[in-house]
Structure 1
Amino acid sequence: MIQQLLEPCDRITYGQRQREVAAKLGKSVRTVRRLVKKWEEEGLAALQTTTRADKGTHRIDTDWQQFIIKTYQEGNKGSKRITPQQVAIRVRDAYRLRHKPIQESGKPPIVPVAYMLSSSRMQF
Structure 2
Amino acid sequence: MPYRDQATVESWVTEFILRQQGIYPDVAVLEQNYVAGPDSGLVVVSLRTASTVTYIQPVVDAGIPRWVVTFEPRSESFDLDAVGVAKLSADLLTLSELCAHLQRKTDEARAALA
Range into which the TM-score falls when normalised by the shorter chain: under 0.3
Task: Indicate the structure (1 or 2) with the bigger Cα radius of gyration.
Answer: 1
Normalised by the length of structure 2, the TM-score is 0.23
Normalised by the length of structure 1, the TM-score is 0.22
Larger fraction in strand: 2
Larger fraction in helix: 1
Which is bigger in relative contact order (C-alpha 8 A, separation at least 6)?
2
